[in-house]
């Protein structure tokens, strides 16, 4: 390094000492030579003072003065420079306290006064901020470098002695001095390397010292000063500071005011708060890495992951993960992370495709976290349930061998997937097998982990679907106990289970209690249940009233969300206005208020033109008014809009079964089809029984009627699938 | 079935549903606390009355009473011990009234002293609220803090984050694209949804209210004493409720060590796992992250925070909540990485230079001769 400095000095060829030397080493500028001599002389001093080990050499004040005066006399160094050299030597030897005593004698202000005129006696012209490169300049640069380094070392010494606040003040004075010497920033070239190094190190050190001293606002200011002023830092140093600043912003617990607007151009991004500034810095660091300007630091990606996950921006995170160059993450790890990102951003299909690649037998088929995620993903979709069962089974096996604590989770997802799969089973036999298995998995999961409310809830739903209302009721209550009634779906499950047991008034008590625990804004689903409970209790006026309240809420919500997109994820918990009109239409139709029913239907249609539900309701109003052809046409339209619309199929079957013997086979096929889709539809069983009866198959008819009557005793006012 | 079981069901239902006595704020102020707290000195005096014998006498005459309330370990131990004790948090709990009055004094330093107890308050409240105990005292304090947070934020304003797009320049970098072209689209994320006004603690909003109070605490973290943060991490472990799942690791910092005598009294109370929806999970995680990665010199705190982060990770794994998994996994990984040290001064090639120095020395010696 000194050789490099010597070379550049040679290049300039104006060093006053150049002629004196006999070999290349002598061409070094005088302060370097002075340094060398000082070092040498000090070595002799301390060698004479101390007995054997030079690192143990004690320097007392007498020694310092002696050494200093000999340095000053012999080398025509000034007082500050001599002290700087001495202190530096002490520091190098690990005598921090001694170094501090030496450094204490340096008057930085005085030194700066001396450097300033020589370094910037003529303020540089506005065009160029380069320093003049004459010899006197380089000479005083050496001197300045020496003194500044001394103050920097002083700051380090103080820090080592645990005096962070004083250390920070010293360190700041280094930067202040540099700023007053180089008023227009440090130029890229023609600054002595040593000086640049001292500057860089001080810039990097200062915020850390403030942090250690607990002066967080100062730390914040010094980070910004480090990054926004021109210190001519190299990329690595700058990256380190950016990262530390980002970490400080993310986790510092300090509310920082945003950076000033002064230096910002139009169209530029202005961070408004800590998190934005931190994310910006982290992204910049990653970009620098992509461009090869800095080395890879795994923590940067983790910090960014944390920050972006906090604000639910995992799709942005996915983009950054994709940009990471190959060779950093193993592909399976990258796929898993990307799957998490996609799943959190509700891109389920993309997430599942990534997991399929990962769980391929050639990759890591036994990765338990990926298996669990895949199973969870599949459990939300009927068509994927089978696939999910496979993943979950593998996860269970894997959990048994190595991840014991994940076994209940694996069993939980297995139960959910099996339950989902049972809903689309083709045969009764298969369905009951799957249902039994699902319950078995869920209860095994509960036996391992008694305290997971989600598990209890899913168990309750499964019991309810299987019409085991007693057990379902127990689960629903347990869920409410475990969550302290804080989860709305628990209340709803309880009311529906009670309604299925025909305990309408109790269901209403529960619904009212739930309404008490719920803010107005989120009462939609509960109000809907309440309205349906009133209908079930044949209290039409109260039902209308409940629907009216619900309608007011829904319309208010539509207005509020029409303007501001709230961005929260509770959308699935909302009742649509369409549903309300639909419910009202059915209610009025059942009361034979045709005009009102018609109006409600029109309203519903206006919101959703081609809806099987509306068409079905329309058919119903026609049917009650004996307009059979129109009714049938409406029902068929409903089925063509939605191929698996069960109520329409049942209605068609029912209507046809009344049309005479030649329609009975058609009616029967529609009803059987409906029962395939929804085996617990009691109306379908009832009409199927009628078809059998008309056809003279009395035993079959009796079975169907029995099924219908049993189901009637356990029919909830709303499908459990609406939860 | 029949009537009997039905009425039993009703019993259970009404029990579950009966809302706690409304913690109307008026009852808190008017009852037995005749004059509102107007100075830190008054706060110390009234706390001494509330705590009785447990109040350390040395503090009655402290120079800076607010700082004492915030930092003194004796006071903290007494207050936290009382908060965690059996029967705390009921409607007429004197300590809750003190916290409420001190916070309503609107003196910033007293408000800090109240915020210091947010971890204990939230933890005790959350685990007891699940068991449906009357907690009007806690609720009044939490609602007051929530109202403060809502007022600070502004009505109906969510806290948003505008994500940077590096195609736009910023103070920290230049963009390749000249800024004259249209600025690239920015994604806006909601960090914390708008805080609606809440006069009572409704069960379904409990997590949101406590979450917002934690956000308030998070904003003042830099000013909070170490023991308060230690408390929080300890409670997070309890909230996650899956300690047994971790491979029987010895607990990083046993509660008794950090809490001293206070835990001995409260040790009997079993801390329950609580529901952790994202609205509560997220602010809790931010606080844990601060304890783990923020500026602190306490290795004990870092270890406790690392443990909390791990527990939260496994809690997220229970439901495979992808967002929570990503965030907690990063924290766990970061806790295992070592921090890059600040570079030491290098004595530019001191060793490499030695030969050169020797040469110069020889050179000088020869000139002298």
Domain count, chain B: 2
- Pair (B163, B244) in one structural domain: no
Work out the mean pLDDT of chain A and round it to a whole number. Answer: 80
Q: Residue A50: pLDDT above 60?
A: no
* Residue that wins the pLDDT comparison between A673 and A723: A673
Using the Cβ of A267 and the Cβ atoms of chain B, whether some distance falls under 8 Å is answered with yes
Sign, CA dihedral B131-B134-B138-B141, equals positive
Residues of chain A above pLDDT 90, percent: 27
Given an 8 Å threshold on Cβ–Cβ distance, is A299 in contact with B363?
Answer: no
Given an 8 Å threshold on Cβ–Cβ distance, is B294 in contact with A344?
Answer: no
Using the Cβ of B185 and the Cβ atoms of chain A, whether some distance falls under 8 Å is answered with no
Mutate to test the interface with B, among A27, A33, A267, A328 (most CBs of B within 10 A): A267
- Pair (B137, B270) in one structural domain: yes
CA distance A27 to chain B (A): 11
pLDDT category, A160, cuts 50, 70, 90? confident
- The tokens for A203 are 């810039």
Evaluate whether residue B49 is within a structural domain: yes
* Residue that wins the pLDDT comparison between A575 and B328: B328
- Pair (B255, B107) in one structural domain: yes
**What average pLDDT does range A541-548 have in this prediction?**
88
- What distance lies between CA A716 and its chain's CA centroid? 39
**Cβ–Cβ under 8 Å, residues A684 and A653:** yes
Evaluate whether residue B320 is within a structural domain: yes
Q: Residue A124: pLDDT above 80?
A: no
Evaluate whether residue B353 is within a structural domain: no
Q: Residue B91: pLDDT above 70?
A: yes
**Cβ–Cβ under 8 Å, residues B69 and B42:** no
**Closest-approach residue (CA) in chain B for A303:** B330
* Residue that wins the pLDDT comparison between A231 and B304: B304
Q: Residue B10: pLDDT above 80?
A: no
Which residues, numbered 142 to 181 in chain B, qualify as contacts with chain A under a Cβ-Cβ cut-off of 8 Å?
158, 161-166, 168-173, 179-180
Using the Cβ of B220 and the Cβ atoms of chain A, whether some distance falls under 8 Å is answered with yes
pLDDT tens-digit readout, B189-226:
888 888 888 888 888 889 999 999 999 999 889 889 99
- Pair (B167, B206) in one structural domain: no
Question: Among A121-130, A203-212, B133-142, whose mean pLDDT is lowest?
Answer: A121-130
**Segment (H or E) for A479:** helix A469-483
3-state secondary structure at position B173: strand
**What average pLDDT does range A564-568 have in this prediction?**
44
Q: Residue B143: pLDDT above 90?
A: yes
- Pair (B91, B140) in one structural domain: yes
**Cβ–Cβ under 8 Å, residues B66 and B109:** yes
Which range, A134-138, A451-455, B248-252, has the best average confidence (pLDDT)?
A: A451-455
Residues of chain B above pLDDT 90, percent: 26
**Closest-approach residue (CA) in chain B for A345:** B323
pLDDT at A64: 63
Listed by start position, the domains of chain A span 28-120+132-228, 234-258+270-311, 649-723
Q: Residue B97: pLDDT above 50?
A: yes
pLDDT at A26: 38
Candidates B244, B290, B349; nearest CB to A2: B349
Using the Cβ of B325 and the Cβ atoms of chain A, whether some distance falls under 8 Å is answered with yes
pLDDT at A415: 94
Residue range(s) defining the domain that contains residue B269: 14-158+193-336
Given an 8 Å threshold on Cβ–Cβ distance, is B334 in contact with A299?
Answer: yes
Q: Residue A103: pLDDT above 90?
A: no
pLDDT category, B19, cuts 50, 70, 90? very low
Residues forming beta bridges with residue A391, ordered by sequence position = none
Using the Cβ of A162 and the Cβ atoms of chain B, whether some distance falls under 8 Å is answered with no
- Pair (B181, B294) in one structural domain: no
Q: Residue A359: pLDDT above 70?
A: yes
Residue A377 CB contacts under 8 Å (≥ 6 apart), including other chains? A343, A348, A351, A352, A355, A384, A388
Residues of A in contact with B350 (CB under 8 A): 92
**What average pLDDT does range A675-683 have in this prediction?**
86
Candidates B13, B183, B222; nearest CB to A513: B13
Evaluate whether residue B363 is within a structural domain: no
Evaluate whether residue B3 is within a structural domain: no
- Pair (B256, B168) in one structural domain: no
pLDDT tens-digit readout, B20-77:
444 444 344 444 444 677 777 777 778 877 777 666 666 666 677 778 788 888 888 8
pLDDT category, A565, cuts 50, 70, 90? very low
Q: Which CATH architecture has domain A649-723?
A: Alpha Horseshoe (1.25)
- Pair (B23, B111) in one structural domain: yes
* pTM confidence score: 0.82
**Cβ–Cβ under 8 Å, residues A520 and A553:** yes
- Pair (B249, B143) in one structural domain: yes
How far apart are the C-alpha atoms of A361 and A461, rounded to whole Å? 34
pLDDT at A573: 60
Given an 8 Å threshold on Cβ–Cβ distance, is A204 in contact with B340?
Answer: no
Given an 8 Å threshold on Cβ–Cβ distance, is B169 in contact with A268?
Answer: yes
Given an 8 Å threshold on Cβ–Cβ distance, is A280 in contact with B172?
Answer: yes
- A28-120+132-228 against A649-723: fold identical: yes
Given an 8 Å threshold on Cβ–Cβ distance, is A267 in contact with B353?
Answer: no
Question: Among A89-98, A285-294, A423-432, whose mean pLDDT is lowest?
Answer: A89-98
* Residue that wins the pLDDT comparison between A90 and A66: A90
**Cβ–Cβ under 8 Å, residues A601 and A581:** yes
How far apart are the C-alpha atoms of B351 and B277, rounded to whole Å? 59
Candidates A251, A266, A344; nearest CB to B322: A344
Q: Residue A460: pLDDT above 90?
A: yes
Given an 8 Å threshold on Cβ–Cβ distance, is A287 in contact with B173?
Answer: yes
Using the Cβ of B295 and the Cβ atoms of chain A, whether some distance falls under 8 Å is answered with yes
pLDDT category, A719, cuts 50, 70, 90? confident
Q: Residue A353: pLDDT above 70?
A: yes
Work out the mean pLDDT of chain B and round it to a whole number. Answer: 75
Q: In whole angstroms, how large is the CA radius of gyration of chain A? A: 40
- The tokens for A6 are 């010597």
pLDDT tens-digit readout, A174-229:
888 888 777 666 665 556 777 888 888 889 999 999 988 888 888 998 998 888 88
3-state secondary structure at position A430: helix
**Closest-approach residue (CA) in chain B for A566:** B193
Given an 8 Å threshold on Cβ–Cβ distance, is A477 in contact with B16?
Answer: yes
Question: Among A68-77, A233-242, B258-267, whose mean pLDDT is lowest?
Answer: B258-267
**What average pLDDT does range A507-516 have in this prediction?**
90
Nearest to B40 by CA among B78, B67, B72: B67
A28-120+132-228: what fold?
Answer: 1.25.40
- Pair (B75, B36) in one structural domain: yes
| Cβ count near A579 (within 10 Å) | 20
Which residues, numbered 126 to 145 in chain B, qualify as contacts with chain A under a Cβ-Cβ cut-off of 8 Å?
129-132
- Pair (B186, B321) in one structural domain: no
Residues of A in contact with B245 (CB under 8 A): 405
How far apart are the C-alpha atoms of A72 and A65, rounded to whole Å? 10
**What average pLDDT does range B101-105 have in this prediction?**
88
Evaluate whether residue B34 is within a structural domain: yes
Residues of A in contact with B206 (CB under 8 A): 484, 486
pLDDT category, A444, cuts 50, 70, 90? very high
DSSP state of A327: T
How far apart are the C-alpha atoms of B255 and B123, rounded to whole Å? 14
**Beta strand segments in chain B, E:** 159-162, 188-192
| Cβ count near A570 (within 10 Å) | 11
CA distance B269 to chain A (A): 17
pLDDT at A264: 57
pLDDT at B257: 37
């Amino acid at each position: 390094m000194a050789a490099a400095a010597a070379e550049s000095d040679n290049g300039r060829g104006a060093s006053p000492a150049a002629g004196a030397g006999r070999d290349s080493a002598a061409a070094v500028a005088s302060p370097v030579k002075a340094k060398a001599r000082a070092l040498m002389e000090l070595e002799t001093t301390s060698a004479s003072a101390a007995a054997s080990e030079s690192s143990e050499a004690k320097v007392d004040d007498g020694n310092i003065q002696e050494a200093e005066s000999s340095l000053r006399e012999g080398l025509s160094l000034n007082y500050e420079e001599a002290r700087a050299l001495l202190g530096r030597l002490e520091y190098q030897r690990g005598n921090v306290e001694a170094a501090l005593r030496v450094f204490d004698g340096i008057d930085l202000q005085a030194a700066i006064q001396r450097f300033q005129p020589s370094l910037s006696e003529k303020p540089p012209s506005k065009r160029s901020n380069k320093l003049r490169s004459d010899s006197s300049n380089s000479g005083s640069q050496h001197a300045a470098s020496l003194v500044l380094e001394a103050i920097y070392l002083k700051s380090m010494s103080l820090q080592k002695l645990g005096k962070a606040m004083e250390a920070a003040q010293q360190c700041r004075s280094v930067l202040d001095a540099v700023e007053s010497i180089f008023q227009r920033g440090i130029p890229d070239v023609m600054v002595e390397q040593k000086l640049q190094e001292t500057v860089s190190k001080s810039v990097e050190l200062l915020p850390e010292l403030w942090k250690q001293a607990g002066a967080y606002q100062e730390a914040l200011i010094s980070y910004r000063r480090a990054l926004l002023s021109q210190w001519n830092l190299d990329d690595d140093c700058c990256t380190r500071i950016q990262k530390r600043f980002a970490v400080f912003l993310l986790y510092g617990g300090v509310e920082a005011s945003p950076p000033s607007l002064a230096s910002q151009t139009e169209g530029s991004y202005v961070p408004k708060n800590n998190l934005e500034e931190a994310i910006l810095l982290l992204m910049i660091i990653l970009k620098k890495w992509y461009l090869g300007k800095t080395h890879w630091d795994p923590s940067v990606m983790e910090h960014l992951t944390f920050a972006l996950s906090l604000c639910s921006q995992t799709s942005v995170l996915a983009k950054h993960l994709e940009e990471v160059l190959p060779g950093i993450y193993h592909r399976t790890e990258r796929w898993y992370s990307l799957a998490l990102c996609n799943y959190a951003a509700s891109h389920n299909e993309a997430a599942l495709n990534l997991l399929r690649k990962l769980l391929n037998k050639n990759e890591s088929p036994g990765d338990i976290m990926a298996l669990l995620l895949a199973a969870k993903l599949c459990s939300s979709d009927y068509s994927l349930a089978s696939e999910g069962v496979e993943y979950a089974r593998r996860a269970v096996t894997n959990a048994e061998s190595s991840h014991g604590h994940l076994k209940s989770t694996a069993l939980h997802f297995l139960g959910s997937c099996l339950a989902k799969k049972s809903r689309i089973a083709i045969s009764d036999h298969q369905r009951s097998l799957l249902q039994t298995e699902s319950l078995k998995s869920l209860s095994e999961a509960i036996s391992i982990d008694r305290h997971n409310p989600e598990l209890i809830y899913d168990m309750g739903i499964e019991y309810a679907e299987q019409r085991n209302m007693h057990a379902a009721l127990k689960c629903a209550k347990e869920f409410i106990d475990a969550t302290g009634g804080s989860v709305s779906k628990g209340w709803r499950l309880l009311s529906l289970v009670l309604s299925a047991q025909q305990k309408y008034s109790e269901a209403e008590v529960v619904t009212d209690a739930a309404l008490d625990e719920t803010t107005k804004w989120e009462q939609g689903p509960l109000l809907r249940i309440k309205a349906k409970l009133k209908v079930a209790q044949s209290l039409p006026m109260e039902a209308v009233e409940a629907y009216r309240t619900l309608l007011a809420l829904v319309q208010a919500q539509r207005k509020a969300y029409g303007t501001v997109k709230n961005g929260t994820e509770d959308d699935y918990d909302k009742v649509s206005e369409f549903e309300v009109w639909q419910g009202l239409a059915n209610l009025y139709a059942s009361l034979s208020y045709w005009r009102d029913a018609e109006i409600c239907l029109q309203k519903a249609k206006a919101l959703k033109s081609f809806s099987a539900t509306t068409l079905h309701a329309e058919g119903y109003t026609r049917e009650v008014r004996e307009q059979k052809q129109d009714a049938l046409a409406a029902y068929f339209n409903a089925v063509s809009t939605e191929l698996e619309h069960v109520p329409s199929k049942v209605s068609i079957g029912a209507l046809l079964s009344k049309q005479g013997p030649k329609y009975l086979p058609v009616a029967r096929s529609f009803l059987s089809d409906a029962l395939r889709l929804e085996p617990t539809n009691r109306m379908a069983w009832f009409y199927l029984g009628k078809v059998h009866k008309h056809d003279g198959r009395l035993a079959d008819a009796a079975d169907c009627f029995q099924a219908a009557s049993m189901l009637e005793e356990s029919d909830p006012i709303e499908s459990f699938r609406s939860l | 079935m029949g009537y009997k079981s039905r009425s039993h069901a009703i019993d259970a239902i009404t029990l579950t549903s009966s809302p706690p006595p409304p913690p109307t704020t008026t009852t808190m102020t008017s009852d037995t606390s005749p004059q509102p707290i107007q100075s830190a000195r008054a706060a110390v005096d009234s706390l001494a009355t509330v705590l009785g014998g447990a109040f350390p006498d040395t503090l009655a005459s402290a120079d800076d009473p607010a700082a004492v309330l915030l930092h003194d370990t004796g006071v903290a131990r007494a207050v936290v011990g009382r908060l965690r004790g059996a029967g705390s948090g009921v409607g007429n709990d004197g300590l809750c009234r003190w916290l409420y009055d001190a916070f309503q004094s609107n003196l910033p330093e007293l408000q800090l002293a109240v915020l210091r107890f947010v971890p204990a308050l939230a933890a005790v409240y959350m685990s007891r609220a699940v068991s449906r105990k009357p907690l009007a005292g806690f609720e009044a304090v939490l609602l007051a803090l929530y109202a403060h947070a809502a007022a600070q934020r502004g009505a109906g304003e969510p806290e948003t984050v505008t994500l940077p797009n590096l195609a736009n320049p910023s103070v920290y970098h230049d963009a390749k694209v000249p800024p004259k072209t249209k600025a690239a689209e920015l994604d806006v994320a909601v960090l914390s949804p708008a805080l609606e006004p809440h006069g009572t603690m409704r069960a379904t909003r409990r997590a949101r209210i406590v979450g917002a109070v934690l956000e308030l605490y998070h904003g003042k973290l830099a000013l909070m004493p170490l023991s308060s943060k230690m408390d929080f991490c300890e409670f997070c472990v309890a909230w996650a409720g899956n300690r047994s799942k971790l491979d029987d690791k010895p607990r990083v910092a046993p509660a008794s060590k950090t809490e001293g005598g206070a835990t001995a009294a409260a040790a009997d109370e079993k801390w329950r796992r609580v529901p952790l929806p994202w609205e509560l999970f997220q602010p809790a995680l931010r606080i844990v992250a601060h304890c783990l990665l923020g500026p602190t010199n306490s290795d004990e705190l870092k270890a406790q925070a690392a443990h909390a982060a791990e527990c939260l990770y496994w809690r997220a794994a229970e439901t495979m909540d992808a967002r929570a998994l990503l965030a907690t996994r990063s924290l766990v990984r970061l806790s295992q990485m070592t921090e890059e040290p600040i570079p030491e001064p290098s004595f530019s090639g001191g060793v490499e230079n030695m030969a050169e120095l020797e040469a110069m020395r020889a050179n000088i010696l020869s000139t002298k001769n």
